[in-house]
Amino acid sequence: MNVVIVGGGISGLALAHGLHSRGTAVTLLEAASHLGGNIQTRRRDGFITEAGPNSFVDREPTLRQLAASLGIEDRIRTADPSAKRRYIYSRGKLRQVPSSPPALLKSDVVPLGAKLRMMGELFTRRAPDKDESLAEFGRRHVGRTATEVLVDAMQTGIYAGDVEALSVGAVFPKVVELEKQHRSLVLGMARSQAAARKALPPGEGAPKPTGAVSSFDGGLQVLVDALARSLGPAARTGARVVGLRREGHGWRLSVEEHGQRSELAADQVVLAVPAYVAAELLRPLDEKLAGRVEGIAYAPVAVVHLGFAPGSLPPPDGFGFLIPTLERRRLLGVIHASSTFPWRVEDGRVLLTCMVGGAKRPDLVELDDEALVKLAREELRELAGITAEPSFTEVIHWKRGIPQYNVGHLARMAAIDEGVARLPGLHLLGNAYKGVGLTDCIRNANALVDTLTR
């Protein structure tokens, strides 16, 4: 069996590595001149910047196991302990996010009335039988204000989305599962923690997740480079797939590579490309399926890195801060990159990574680099009192940044799965479908390795 994987982001790379390690013949075709997709780490002027993702939460063994299989587990670095402190800009200032339900009592992140309403979570009424939005779910559990401040900020940090549009079942399936079992999330969490304490420790020798925000000593590129080394010539860059058709029991792909058009035969094809690219390749095969895949929306995001010379700015505290939509600001949030990942800057420099745009302000991503730097500096001055002049700036525009699992996504996915099942030997993989985090992408790739090698 030979497998051709289209797309060399983390999803395609993790799949290729898994198949390659099991001795399956695999070819990965990546249109860009570099592997990694959204993951792009750069080094300049004493700063290590991330164009896309910055980190993963080491909560399940998936990513650590991948790193171990590549011999780079010792290069994983956990965030500075101060990164446990996170802030939200609310009612005129930065306020610390409580780390647990008891800490909420002392916190001023929401006003007293909203805190009292949050305590009523224990008496949440049962879920209606429908695909609920994250906002509807939030209001039912913690009330309107906590939804507008806390739930909105939380989704902004992952999806840069619209809390009224995102489907809770699609974006936080574990939370919905917890609700199904326990009705109240607070009760559910307390019971799960008690059960976990009683459970047996993980097996000897298995890599142990730390639960911490993590990256690698040279940024996430370390993972991409190790995957590229492991795949060698099986991963081809500058190879854009422009057509796909059935041939006998297999597939034939048209590839544009270094100005040449060629054809490639495959027993199995995996489209690990963004949904809008997959839709174009699927259109001649199944128009309806292509339409469903194309309907997955993306939120645009601009990333604005501001670097400060040593001594020009005291290191800001904690992981960073998020700004709920309700505040009507022009920033989505800021990562205190140098405080959280101190190894990413040389001697005393400060690096702030500002996120702009998202589903609610896509217009801002259209601004040019200079305007985005100006916007970020104005907002930092007003929100966090930061007036220092950056010595270094870098702007990345993600016109279609983060897939949005809006209400209807689960039904859409069921229909997409059905459509794909009618095309034997063809598979869809990637962040558009069943999880946007790096760990989700790798977990889904591992599951496909199992399916293909069964």
Residues contributing to the site for ligand FAD (CB under 6 A): 6-12, 29-32, 37-39, 52-56, 240-241, 272-274, 277, 301, 303, 398, 401-402, 430-431, 436-438, 441
For residue 365, report the phi and psi dihedrals to the nearest 5 degrees: -70, -20
Compare residues 118 and 253 and give the one whose CB is closer to ligand FAD: 253
- In the bound state with ligand FAD, the residue whose beta carbon lies nearer, of 52 and 324, is 52
The type of residue at 32 is A
3-state secondary structure of 106: coil
- What six digits make up the tokens of 240? 């854009």
> Using the 8-state DSSP alphabet, how is residue 342 labeled?
G
> Least CB distance from residue 440 to ligand FAD, whole Å?
7
> What is the DSSP pairing of strand 350-357 with strand 297-308?
antiparallel
Question: 324 vs 403, which CB is nearer to ligand FAD?
Answer: 403
Nearer to ligand FAD, 146 or 428 (CB): 428
Tell me how far CA of residue 123 lies from CA of 128, 141, 326, in angstroms.
15, 8, 26
Min. distance of Cβ 296 from ligand FAD in angstroms? 12
Least distance to ligand FAD, CB of residue 439, Å: 6
For ligand FAD, the closer of residues 273 and 345 by Cβ is 273
150 vs 220, which CB is nearer to ligand FAD?
220
**Considering beta carbons, is residue 147 or 431 the nearer one to ligand FAD?**
431
Largest interatomic CA distance in the chain: 67
Shortest spacing between CB 260 and ligand FAD, in angstroms = 15
Q: C-beta of 158: minimal distance to ligand FAD in Å?
A: 8
How far apart are alpha carbons 383 and 331 in whole angstroms? 10
CB atoms within 10 A of CB 429: 25
CB of 69 to ligand FAD, least distance (A): 18
| Shortest spacing between CB 39 and ligand FAD, in angstroms | 5
Asked if 74 and 68 touch (Cβ cutoff 8 Å), the reply is: no
Report in angstroms how near the CB of residue 282 gets to ligand FAD at its nearest: 12
Q: Which is nearer to ligand FAD, 111 or 225 (CB)?
A: 225
Nearest Cα to 449, choosing from 7, 10, 14?
14
CA distances from 278 to 255, 256, 263, 267 (A): 14, 16, 18, 18
Comparing CB distances to ligand FAD, the nearer of 109 and 302 is 302
Distance of CA 119 to the CA centre of its chain: 30
Q: Closest approach of Cβ 376 to ligand FAD, in Å?
A: 14
Encoded amino acid at 58, one letter = D
C-alpha 38/C-alpha 219 separation (Å) is 13
**What ranges make up the beta strands (E) of 51-92?**
56-57, 76-78, 86-90
Is 403 exposed, middle or buried, given 0-12, 13-18 or 19+ CB atoms closer than 10 A?
buried
Q: How far is it, in rounded angstroms, from Cα 205 to Cα 213? A: 22
